[in-house]
Amino acid sequence: MPQREAGAEAFVPATGGLSAMESAVQACRGCGLHENATQAVFGQGAARARVLLVGEQPGASEDVEGHPFVGPAGRTLDRAFREAGLRRDDVYLTNVVKHFKFVPAERGKRRIHKKPSVGEVRACLPWFAAELRLVKPELVVCLGATAAKALFGESFRVTRNRGVLLDFPERFELGEHGPDYVLATVHPSSVLRATDREAAYLDFRNDLRTASDALR
């Protein structure tokens, strides 16, 4: 039986802005991931950004520094932002899961990223829903399959649906607070793992260009 996570709902303050959420998330016990992580990593960026980008979960660097996308994936993302005409300061950047999930490396002190379970993603969604409610972006960009599946369900395939503007899914139940569109693309870490890195990067950057063009 998969473990049932209690969920973050009870930890999300009923009122307050992004900074109130960011303080409160540190006390979240909505799933087991807080136990081994250094801290929760909340979203960051413009409080009323027109575009909100969402990744999977903080990585090892993010877990230590407390900010999203400050490690290797973040550097790829920053290059793509520059070349797509987006600025980190103008967007809001977050993850569907706020605590780092990892396994220790067999040797040494390195911590190896482990994909969050469907239950952990579900448990953490109230935080992401709060970010959507407060930032009110017009467009959401899903960076990778975990974020895209969190919005569209487990059957969603990034490879088949990437780089196009999709309607924001009703099942997410944000009503009038919902963004207009979602664009799914690959995760910047997958660009770094690709056999042809430059080709993978250019496809990724072109998807961000589509997102950036949609805001004009």
What amino acid is encoded at 44 in this protein? Q
Q: Which is nearer to ligand SF4, 51 or 121 (CB)?
A: 121
CA dist list (Å): 203 to 76, 84, 163, 165 = 12, 11, 9, 15
Cβ contact 13:34 at 8 Å: no
What is the DSSP code string of 31-89?
SGGGGTSS-----EE-TT-SEEEEESS--HHHHHH-STT-SHHHHHHHHHHHHHT--TT
Query: Coil, helix or strand for 193?
Result: helix
Whole-angstrom Cα Rg for the chain? 16
Query: Apex CA 106: angle with CA 146 and CA 103, to 5°?
Result: 30
Q: Looking at this protein, which amino acid is placed at residue 208?
A: L
Measured between alpha carbons, how far is 35 from 99 in angstroms, rounded to an integer?
9
Residue 8 within binding range of ligand SF4, rule CB under 6 A: yes
> Per-residue string for binding with ligand SF4, 106-145, x by CB under 6 A?
-----------------xx--x------------------
Nearer to ligand SF4, 29 or 133 (CB): 29
Convert residues 83-122 into a mask of x (bound to ligand URA by CB under 6 A) and - (unbound). ------------x---------------------------
62 binds, among ligand SF4, ligand URA, none (CB under 5 to 8 A by kind): ligand URA
The stretch near ligand URA (CB under 6 A) out of 18-26, 68-76, 131-139, 165-173 is 68-76
Contact residue for ligand URA among 62, 63, 120, 131 (CB under 6 A): 62
The yes or no reply on residue 56 touching ligand URA (CB under 6 A) is yes
Q: At 70, list the tokens.
A: 């400050």
Binding mask 71-90 for ligand SF4 (x = CB under 6 A): --------------------
Does position 58 interact with ligand URA (CB under 6 A)? The reply is yes
Closest to ligand SF4 by CB, 117 or 206: 117
User: Contact residues for ligand URA (CB under 6 A)?
Assistant: 55-59, 62, 68-69, 71, 73, 95, 189
